[in-house]
Structure 1
Amino acid sequence: MKRTITAGALAAALALPLTLTACSGGGGGGGSDDATANADGKTLTIWDYESDDSAMGQAWAKAIEIFKEKHPGVTVKTESQTFEQIQKNAKIILTGDDVPDVMEYNKGNATAGQLASQGLLTPLTDVVKDRGWDKKVTGSIATTAQYDENGLMGAGDWYGIPNYGEYVTVYYNKDLFKKYGVAVPTTLDQFTAALATFKAAGVTPLNPAGAEYPLGQLWYQLALTKADRSWIDSYQLFKGDLDWQGEQLTSATDTISDWTKKGYIPKNSAGLTAEDMGTSFISGKYPIMVSGSWWFGRLVNEAKFDWGQFQFPGSNFALGSSGNLWVVPQNAKNKGLAEDFIDITLSDEVQNVLGQKGGLPIAGDASTITDAKTKTFTEQFQKLVSDDSLAFYPDWPVAGFYDQIVSALQSVVNGSKSTSDVLSQLQKQYESGKDDLLNG
């Protein structure tokens, strides 16, 4: 059984000193020897934020089952937290001694990279080589697992292990598309025309919740319709100067504003959460949802209408990457057990559970997937990987950018700021964070 971290435990964690002590990552060793002084070898504590019925939740349950079989004297404790809890509080919690042995954490410069650079995560490079994880986690999927001394992804030591992939796609209600005579669009103009058709029929087509990540992901996807790989590398990896008033971000911001004014996006979306978005689509209220592969399992289990998905039209790129990382906190007491658990999540047995449930395994065999919808979903991801078309996520480059994007785009939906002012605000925050990252 998963349990949510208690209010008292979280309050105690938040009472820890705010000063973070940066520890040396050493030579990429880490591993089980680092924590032997405090290890009891009898308990494995896992934190994650996957729902039990998601593909990942079901795969982790299988991994725990296998772990228990291999470690009959070990108690497994799982704590289910929300993405927001871990996003906001991980740095504070991990400075203490009461930390998990292994935890799911978001990848990218501003998240796993930041924790790695501050010495809060165990470097796993030697373990990766010893256990052969680098033979399964390869190419662009490995980019988010490695971080340099500044916390920039793509180089340096391994600090986490992904075992599934993810990407943002367009889910659509086939019944509503058929009812209103809307064809699956293949260009951005056709997509916009589809939105207009629904609105003219009295149906609001989109609900990209603005209180959390969905609106920012739609904004970035719109920018990608005018982007190439060099622009993405400038935005994500600082490989070149980024023009914040250029056509990519200007057009994306203008489009969000225009779609809101035309009623394609509800004006109250600025106050809605990702869960609000997902449940309203699942209920059949909205015909289109632009969001991630993490919704696939819930749609399979909960949607009562015929649905499908297609790649966002007019773009050669999609938001996506490896999935979240399993990381081992520097203060974890049972690192050897954590490594054993991570290893199991990369096993064929667990990877095939991910595949069958639509979890986009990175080391699974797509030919074993029997469900046609799941197989198509997986093959689309594999094509994005093989074409080098994954463009990561908009909040990744610098620490704290997630909240800044959310706030800025809420002002676009609310109509309180112009495109130029919004982009100037984001540029200032981005450049400040970039300077802290590279020179701090």
Structure 2
Amino acid sequence: MLTTRSTTHTRGRRPRTLAAATSALTCVFALTSCGGGSDDDSGGGAKTLRLWHYEAANSAMGAAWNEAIKEFEAQHPGVKVKFEEKSFDQIQKTASMVLGSDDAPDLMEYNKGNATAGLLSKQGLLTDMTTEVTKRGWDKQLSPSITTTSRYSPAGTMGSGKWYGVPNYGEFLQAYYNKDLFKKYGIEIPTTFDELTSALAEFKKHGVTPLANSGAEYLAHQYVYQLALTKADRAWVDDYELKGKADFHDAAWTYAATTFADWVKKGYISKDTTSATAEKAGVSWLQQKAPIIFSGTWWFGRFEDEAKFDWSSGLFPGAALTPGSGGNLWVVPAKSKNKELAYEFIDITMSKKIQNLLGNKGGVPVAADASAIKDPKSQALIEDFNSLSDKNGLAYYPDWPVAGFYDTLVSQTQRLMTGSASPDQYLDALQAAYDKGASKG
């Protein structure tokens, strides 16, 4: 049923190389030198913790994990961390083969979801970390909506069962506001949904299209999903995301589709963005062509670097639920040669020191002290995430429930934007695709 959200990685990750499971795979993909496995500790020498992750060195996560490596080695004299940069895409394609071989690392970053971490747990390739999680108190640091992606049933379905992964950062969607444009037109930053719709109307009166959008990728259908969430509760989210139970003609989905179509008709969202990419949407906001963009925290660092105007961000006005989740998982392969060391490394990444560093680099830590974050924007970002997490307000992503649903959401939301599908026809198409996918789960 649940699948990973591939859009997270195609938009933000930097490809790296992957060690192959066998010499044949190694040579085929030209990823590492042949003859791996020489770094285990079976020869009586200094121990080596082999660590794989795919975060760019200049990203918030990359910087935090680098510091964690230094901290780990300082606390474990005689143990070296051998960090190996990996490709998200290649790990996705070859993880089962690699982790089933003697070349498996001791600790690895891996994506959340039934089709990824859930599948590997079902195949017996990941270590059950339930005992370590409770012993080290990681479960106390993570909210229920974050831990959903950490636990998997014997069938590999997320949301319950044993712990096979630990996330130590998060992500969620938020509204980004160009404060200079709001000031120019004498409009207040909205704090309620009514204030948001009034602001959209005011901008349009001044000839400004208020919302940046991407019809060709995830932004458009995430607007729809967020609108549905304004009329939904936690049970609705769990039915849709985890149980394969969704009525696309209920009040929430009907309101969302109707409101989104109305916003396009009123010019709050331009029909010209029907074929626009997410990159184009982000750039249009940076170029001050739209005063608002509703998208993920993965834009935050870039906006800090590139925005040449005063801006702020915040949760979607009036919504108790918003799309988001815990980040990718630390998993310990079943064939890890140094499991205890792997647990201790995870523990360091969950420490306040590393979590606060992650926050100060523009990431979204799961266990930081908001007061320890120096940048006001980053501090507000973390406070918003903590607020969502504390109230179980992370509602995952609309394309997660069934395989292939992302493509359906993109194509059908494009039809809704162009008017080639009415809201009712749009919801019919979503229902048919969802039911077909859920029946295969």
Deviates more, 1:89-98 or 1:60-69: 89-98
Aligned to 2:206: 201
Distance in 1, matches of 2:275 and 2:416, equals: 13
Distance in 1, matches of 2:41 and 2:411, equals: 44
Aligned to 2:430: 426
Task: Indicate which of 168, 171, 177 corresponds to 2:176.
Answer: 171
SS at match of 2:440: helix
Aligned to 1:46: 52
RMSD over aligned Cα atoms: 3.5
2:253 counterpart of 1:249: yes
Distance in 1, matches of 2:66 and 2:151, equals: 26
Q: Alpha-carbon deviations, 1:354-403, whole Å to 9, x = none?
A: 23234232222222223333222222222222223222221222233233
Deviates more, 1:171-180 or 1:354-363: 354-363
2:15 counterpart of 1:4: yes
Q: Are the equivalent residues in 2 in contact too, given 1:102–1:332 (CA < 8 A)? A: yes
Q: Are the equivalent residues in 2 in contact too, given 1:93–1:99 (CA < 8 A)? A: no
TM-score, with normalisation over the residues of structure 2?
0.80
Aligned pairs for 1:71-86 (under 5 A) are: 73-79=80-86, 81=88, 85=89
SS at match of 1:44: strand
Q: Are the equivalent residues in 1 in contact too, given 2:92–2:116 (CA < 8 A)? A: no
Q: Which runs of 5+ in 2 are unaligned?
A: 1-12, 30-39
Instruction: Tell me: CA distance 1:36–1:244, structure 2 relative to 1, closer, same or farther (3 Å).
Output: farther
Distance in 2, matches of 1:370 and 1:6, equals: 34
Q: Are the equivalent residues in 1 in contact too, given 2:48–2:79 (CA < 8 A)? A: no
Aligned to 1:258: 262
Distance in 1, matches of 2:392 and 2:208, equals: 36
The one-letter amino acid paired with 1:143 is T
Instruction: Tell me: CA distance 1:218–1:3, structure 2 relative to 1, closer, same or farther (3 Å).
Output: closer
TM-score, with normalisation over the residues of structure 1?
0.80
Task: Indicate which of 70, 89, 92 corresponds to 1:90.
Answer: 92
Shift of 1:323: 2.4
Q: Are the equivalent residues in 1 in contact too, given 2:145–2:395 (CA < 8 A)? A: no
2:62 counterpart of 1:57: yes
Task: Indicate which of 277, 293, 304 corresponds to 2:308.
Answer: 304
Q: Are the equivalent residues in 1 in contact too, given 2:264–2:270 (CA < 8 A)? A: yes
The one-letter amino acid paired with 2:185 is Y
Distance in 1, matches of 2:281 and 2:226, equals: 17
Aligned to 1:149: 154
Distance in 1, matches of 2:346 and 2:177, equals: 35
Q: Are the equivalent residues in 2 in contact too, given 1:166–1:360 (CA < 8 A)? A: yes
The one-letter amino acid paired with 1:221 is Q
Q: Are the equivalent residues in 2 in contact too, given 1:168–1:320 (CA < 8 A)? A: yes
Q: Alpha-carbon deviations, 1:330-364, whole Å to 9, x = none?
A: 56676565444323211222111023234232222
Distance in 2, matches of 1:36 and 1:7, equals: 21
2:407 counterpart of 1:392: no
Distance in 1, matches of 2:204 and 2:250, equals: 30
Percentage of identical aligned residues:
50
Aligned to 1:192: 197
Q: Are the equivalent residues in 2 in contact too, given 1:43–1:77 (CA < 8 A)? A: no
Distance in 1, matches of 2:87 and 2:206, equals: 42
Aligned to 2:292: 288
2:233 counterpart of 1:228: yes
Distance in 2, matches of 1:435 and 1:276, equals: 36
Number of residue pairs matched by the alignment: 410
Aligned to 1:269: 273
